[in-house]
Amino acid sequence: MKFGKRIKEQIQESLPEWRDKFLRYKELKNLISSPAPAESIFVGLLNAEIEKFNAFFVEQEEDFIIHHKELQYRIQRLVEKCGDNDDVMFREEIGEIRKDIVNFHGEMVLLVNYSNINYTGLTKILKKYDKRTGGALRSPFIQKVLRQPFFKTDLVSRLVREWETTMDAMFPALTREVEGYERSAAVSSAAAVSSAAAGEGIFRNTVAALMTMREMRRGSSTYGAYSLPPLNLSDSDLVLRPRHVPSPIPIPY
């Protein structure tokens, strides 16, 4: 799939309030196709895009840190309330917390994908510019990109791992079903998985993001110095989680 189509589909699959935060790939491509694409204008547009990515990414990251602490507090309070009591009494609250965790996990996966797809878009549009003009802009510009906040996903990825561990601890009864779902997702197309998750809101968006990351980061003959490292879904920290209300279970944390 051509990248222009991929980023268009990914924008459509993203959260509505995120859609104007992605790389304006088509606009940049049209500029390159103009009779005399001026480097100053092109670089100015790229810098504006990077500023947009950074502002959005940092804002989301800060919100995630706050939400992370709030969810931890809610879980601890629930554990204290449950004590040795039958947790059937707290089924509704357990279900709400689980839903919030799954949504939170999904948003973080979407942000990692946001970083991946915008970085990939920059490398591709710079390659097109160099090919069109005979210049050598890509290498020094990408070195600058690698130092930008939006490219550094370590913190968000760590939070993703932590909440996957929490979900495993809170809902062990789902482990076998989750593993089966992940195996099927790893070999399915994005369209098939999205169809299976239709109507599931952010979960559907998360599945589409995971499949996009898998496609962009798989090893291939086109893998190069500016490519993101391959992503293996079966071993990935970014796992798919089916969303449904669990039966009554203990909540260790």
Compute the average pLDDT of residues 100-123: 92
Centroid of chain to Cα 15 = 11
First-to-final CA distance of the chain: 43
Q: How confident is the model at residue 131, as a pLDDT?
A: 95
Is-contact 19 8, C-beta < 8 A? no
pLDDT at 158 over 80: yes
Rounded Cα distance between 18 and 55, Å, is 12
Among 121-125, 189-193, 209-213, 218-222, which stretch is predicted with the lowest mean pLDDT? 189-193
pLDDT at 188 over 50: no
Is-contact 231 217, C-beta < 8 A? yes
Among 44-48, 194-198, 201-205, which stretch is predicted with the lowest mean pLDDT? 194-198
Is-contact 156 64, C-beta < 8 A? yes
Which token pair is 158? 């760590």
Question: In 3D, which of 251, 213, 253 has the Cα closest to residue 108?
Answer: 213
Burial 83-103 (b: 16+ CB within 10 A, else e): eeeebeebeeebeebbeebbb
Which token pair is 231? 């992503």
Mean pLDDT, all residues of the chain = 76
Question: In 3D, which of 188, 202, 192 has the Cα closest to residue 243?
Answer: 202
